[in-house]
Amino acid sequence: MSRIARIHRTGGPEVLGIEDIDVGEPGPGEARIRIEAIGLNRSEALFRAGGYRVTPKLPSLMGYEAAGSIEAVGAGVQGFAPGERVSILPTFALGTYGVYGEAAIVPARSLVKAPASLSPIEAASIWMQYLTALAIVEVGKVGIGDYVLIPAASSSVGLAAIQLANWAGAVPIAATRHHAKADALKAHGAAHVIATAECDVAAEVMRISGGKGARVVFDPVGGPFVEALANSMATEGILIIYGGLSGQPTPYPHWQAALKGLSLRGWVASSIWTDPGRFERAKALILRGLAAGRLKPIIAKTFPLAAIVDAHRYLESNEQLGKIVVTV
């Protein structure tokens, strides 16, 4: 039996409960993993609350990013063996499998061997954030001297985008609601920090960029704020929206787009992992960046599995800077 956290109803963090469950044996194409660390993601809080695009089938397992060691593999699994340290990539739908617990069965296609240089906590915290933030490279084609505006920059994805922008020779402008996190964001690579609740965002971006504007905006918020983002952008810039944290409809900034020739498009990390060739290139790039020190996961706080409810409360507090990890 293993301690497993799952939900029997949707709601706040308190609906998460830990039960003793026999996870069983892996089926064809699957592996059973002894979990050591679990990386939390915003989508999991939305899923738990019933506000995600996929409705939980109750009772539901939770989580899809973790690190641990292989205990057993099912029929047809090649390239992995018991005892190997692995990261679990979030390449399956929430609720179809789950990693919130001491053990988990997951598709072998969702595994990658964990870099020896990373601790289990770090190995559980890299894939969702970097695969998501790669949009600024894959779609935005950022390059030397480009200004990149990154709202919600203190999130794990925001920090990953800052690191990738720096690696590409671009100039990352971190956007956060208040200045409380400004020093920390600069310490983690932001060239500039804008407190969106304390200034005219467009005017500040134009001041920083010498009137050029941001060629790439990487936004998880959406909603009415896109009007200010569009005003901040350079001619023929691209606005990439990868989330909907505002919870409000996102207007199309017609005149800014028309007069500046802007491009607006959505993004999800599965755009990479559903394309095998693209996925292999992305994994190789991320591993190279980690090995070279260009990419480094930032851990906001860790919680033990017994405190999974507190971990979700912290996830929803917006107080964190970096990734929240649950240890097992």
111 band by pLDDT with thresholds 50, 70 and 90: very high
DSSP-based three-state secondary structure for 244 = coil
Spatial strand order of the sheet with 233-241 comes to 192-195, 171-176, 147-150, 214-219, 233-241, 263-266
CB 113 within 8 A of CB 152: no
Same fold, 2-126+298-327 and 130-270: no
232: its two tokens:
């901040």
318 band by pLDDT with thresholds 50, 70 and 90: confident
CB 219 within 8 A of CB 132: no
Share of the chain above pLDDT 70, in %: 100
Fold of 2-126+298-327: Quinone Oxidoreductase; Chain A, domain 1 (3.90.180)
Give the residue-averaged pLDDT of 142-160: 97
- What pLDDT score does 244 carry? 84
User: From the centroid of its chain, how far is CA 172?
Assistant: 18
Give the residue-averaged pLDDT of 248-263: 94
Give the residue-averaged pLDDT of 272-279: 91
- What pLDDT score does 147 carry? 98
| 322: phi then psi, degrees, rounded to nearest 5 | 110, -160
Instruction: Domain ranges for the chain, please list them.
Output: 2-126+298-327, 130-270
Q: Give the closest residue to 171 by CA, choosing from 186, 155, 181, 156.
A: 186
Instruction: Name the one residue in this structure whose structure tokens are 């949707």.
Output: 10
Residues 239, 164: Cα–Cα separation, whole Å: 17
Residue 311 has pLDDT above 90, yes or no: yes
Beta strands in the chain (DSSP E): 2-7, 16-21, 30-39, 60-61, 66-73, 85-88, 103-107, 111-113, 147-150, 171-176, 192-195, 214-219, 233-241, 263-266, 299-304, 323-327
Beta 2-7 vs 60-61: how paired, if at all?
A: antiparallel
| 246: phi then psi, degrees, rounded to nearest 5 | -65, -30
Q: Give the closest residue to 259 by CA, choosing from 281, 230, 295.
A: 230
CATH class of domain segment(s) 130-270: alpha beta
| β-bridge partners, 103 | 34
The mean of the pLDDT values for the chain is: 95
